[in-house]
Amino acid sequence: MKLHKSKAVNFQKDKIMKTLVVKSTIFLSFLFALMSCVNDDTLEHLKVTTVKTLYAPDNNKAVKLESSASANILFEWEQAKAEDGGLVMYEVAFDVEGGDFSKPIYKLTSDNNGTYNYATVTHKTLNKIGALAGLNSSETGNIIWTVFSSKGVNEVKAEEVRTMTITRLAGFAEVPTDVYVTGEGSEGGADVSKAIKFKAVANGEFEIYTKLTAGKKYHFADGTNAAAKTYFADGEVLKENGESTVAKTGVYRINLDFTTGAVVYTEISKMELFFAPTNTYLFELPYVGQGVWKAASQPITFKQEGWGRDERYKFRMTVKEGTEFEWFGSVNGDNSRPNNSTPESFWYMVPVSGDQWNNCFKFAGEIDNSLSDVSVVFQADNSYTHIIKKVGDQ
């Protein structure tokens, strides 16, 4: 009897399980069918029409880009319509001439977060697009543009495509964070890992004091590896992908402005220490490399005055084949003698006037009647400064 009862119970359990499986299958099938209908209905409501006509700018419009932040061009087109009668979203797409927009080089949303049928595009953005299209600085070339409409998915390309001719800015759409000089004609030679870094002096502007060798090639780079972008000077214009040379071996200050594409070379022919009490130049500091001028074991003696010993000094740089001078001194109009607690900023050098007394530094007391090393250091990773180090007595 126990055996028969057990069989009956198991039979009843199997029957219940089969019923549950069948009901679950029916429910899930119904649920999937319902979701499919909902998705189909939702996708239907996400459909939009294509933009049939582009209004502005005109086809084949030529634009010489300007550096002004307010310079822009209005892109405008006919409105598309949405199946649900709601808002349509727009993106303006750009591609290289001959492209099919399957992989646009640049896309941007229209004004008002993509809901207006026009977009205000700055010249700066167009300059960047030109660079993506392969145009170099100051180069003229064509790009193409069109409009995509959508409800956020299933975007549709406009029926019309237009061409625009742009002349890129002399400056660069992408300004490097760091810049180096490298190549056979540079101090570091052709080994890019020994490239010498420029000092960033403003946004997009860089400066370096370095020696260049006549007739040997060098270039500028945004890194110290083989993948770095490279630049060169074509006269007074900064361009991409090339080499430069100088006609004369010498020490130069090189100023690069990536915002305007300008290059300025200034030859540095002499660096001297000016001693204000005697209104004379005590000695010249030879250039030793890496942005450093150094005069070793120089005798320095203060001038005796009725009120004490005068120790004021600053520096004069001779530029442009000895025809012009630039002065470097203290940010302060007057100073006290430095001591062991004086901050490093005391020795920082800034451009000053050639006035005999203003903006002079003062030697520390121990420098009187000494033999001292004097170094001027104009390098990238610190403020321009100088070092006075006593190495002996006279």
pLDDT at 321: 76
% residues pLDDT > 90 (the chain): 76
Report the alpha-carbon distance of residue 37 to residue 101 in Å, rounded. 33
Paired sense of beta strands 230-234 and 324-329, if any: unpaired
* b/e per residue 323-333 (b: at least 16 CB within 10 A): eeebbbbbeee
Mean pLDDT of 30-54: 67
pLDDT band at 305 (very low <50, low <70, confident <90, very high): very high
Residue predicted with more confidence, 2 or 77: 77
pLDDT band at 8 (very low <50, low <70, confident <90, very high): very low
% residues pLDDT > 70 (the chain): 89
pLDDT band at 17 (very low <50, low <70, confident <90, very high): low
Query: Of 65-69, 132-136, 287-291, 345-349, which range is least confident?
Result: 65-69
Mean pLDDT of 146-167: 96
Q: Above 90 in pLDDT, residue 4?
A: no
pLDDT at 43: 53
Report the alpha-carbon distance of residue 249 to residue 81 in Å, rounded. 68
Mean pLDDT of 214-243: 94
pLDDT at 299: 98
Give yes or no for a cis peptide into 57 (omega within 30° of 0).
Answer: yes
Q: Above 90 in pLDDT, residue 329?
A: yes
Q: Above 50 in pLDDT, residue 3?
A: no
Q: Pick from 20, 8, 48: which is nearest to 147 by CA?
A: 48
pLDDT at 24: 56
Residue-averaged pLDDT of the chain: 90
pLDDT at 44: 59
Q: Above 70 in pLDDT, residue 133?
A: yes
pLDDT band at 154 (very low <50, low <70, confident <90, very high): confident
pLDDT at 269: 95
pLDDT per residue over 354-372, tens digit each? 999 999 999 999 999 999 9
Mean pLDDT of 365-390: 98
Q: Pick from 148, 49, 45: which is nearest to 92 by CA?
A: 148
Count Cβ atoms within 10 A of the Cβ of residue 237 and give its class: 0-12 exposed, 13-18 middle, 19 or more buried: middle
Query: Of 9-13, 112-116, 243-247, 272-276, which range is least confident?
Result: 9-13
pLDDT at 6: 47
pLDDT at 9: 45
Provide the token pair at 186.
């540079």
Mean pLDDT of 310-338: 94
pLDDT band at 2 (very low <50, low <70, confident <90, very high): very low
Q: Above 90 in pLDDT, residue 89?
A: yes
